[in-house]
Structure 1
Amino acid sequence: MANYIQEIRALVGHKPLILNTAAGILVNDQQQVLLNLRTDTHNWSLPGGYLEYGETYAEACVREYLEDSGVQVKIIAPIGMFDRGETTYPNGDVTQTISQLFLVQAIGGHVLTKATDETVKLDYFDFDNLPPLMNQQTADMLTAAQKFLQK
């Protein structure tokens, strides 16, 4: 995916873009949510990322979750679509993301214990005691997920 985004950025520079992303909510037995500390923005977000060309939101969620966390997941249910908010990355790139959030269940793999090129570390957090988040959209997704789980 980096090549696709790099190709677009080579054409438009730092001009704001609208991009599609998918993310997943994975909770442990204590009803804590798994978050990843990002290497690019140095704050916390849900495992997930940009769709590759031709990929569905669900396919992207499963692929990106494994890449970001080391955990293989399956989709349990869609939680919602989020399209408000803007993110400015440290390199000056600006995006508005349209993000599909899914409830996911772990079916394999294990939480990464070493940093990767996208994730510094992973940890579980209580919904009412979250670390500094990537953006307002991430906060909105976590609020929606908490309400979804309380149904």
Structure 2
Amino acid sequence: MPIPEFIRALRHHVGHDPLWLTGVSAVVRDHSGHILLTRRADTGQWAVVSGVLEPGEEPARAVVREISEETGIVAEVLRLTSVDVTPMITYPNGDQTQYLDVCFAARHLDGDPHPADDENTDVAWFGVDELPENLAETSRLRIAKALRDDPAAWFRR
């Protein structure tokens, strides 16, 4: 589901005006340390798995749901890696959104990754030193923070 129903309802009232939403993302790694990326249908860029937190949903459960919905795999959350704010995003339809992103490190447990919804055109594993050039900058930053392997989550001070 590209746009959750609660956001459609909000957009009915606010039009294209900026919305402040909470997002979740994950740097998912396999047993070899490869990173799972999705190629976004809307921008064509590669990105870590991400999505919108539903009202009342726990962030770690939400990111496990997003991983499954977008890639068809089963993963487990290992730890919180960062909390930060995205720049304002203007979508092709004119909607503006800014996200508070809660990012997790996760581990692949089962399943072969594939584009499991219409949000992505491809899903693939990449070596840490072989990330694609057209990787979204926000994903590049999330990966760098997750690879710090620091038990404390990163946040701007």
Q: TM-score normalized by structure 1?
A: 0.86
- Separation (CA, whole Å) in 1 of partners of 2:110 and 2:127: 23
**SS at 2:67 equivalent:** helix
Maintained 8 Å contact 1:21/1:60: no
Contact kept, 8 Å, 2:70 with 2:119, in 1: the verdict is yes
Partner of 1:78: 80
Query: Secondary structure of 2:149's partner?
Result: helix
Distance 1:115 1:67, change over 3 A: closer
Give the count of matched residue pairs: 147
Q: Is the 8 A contact 2:86 2:101 kept in 1?
A: no
Give 5+ residue unaligned stretches, structure 1: none
CA RMSD in angstroms comes to: 1.9
Relative to the length of structure 2, the TM-score reads 0.83
Q: Are residue 14 (structure 1) and residue 16 (structure 2) matched?
A: yes
Task: For residue 84 of structure 1, report the CA deviation from its aligned partner.
Answer: 3.7
Note if 1:62 corresponds to 2:64. yes
Map of 2:155 onto structure 1: none
Deviation at 1:62, TM superposition (A): 0.7
Distance of aligned partners of 1:103 and 1:81 in 2 relative to their CA distance in 1, 3 Å threshold: same
In structure 2, the residue matched to 1:5 is: 7
Structure 2 counterpart SS, 1:121 = strand
2:95 & 2:82 partners in 1: Cα distance? 25
Counterparts of 1:2-151 in structure 2 under 5 Å? 2-112=4-114, 114=115, 116-131=117-132, 132-134=134-136, 136-148=137-149
Task: Decide whether the 8 Å contact of 1:115 with 1:121 is kept in 2.
Answer: no
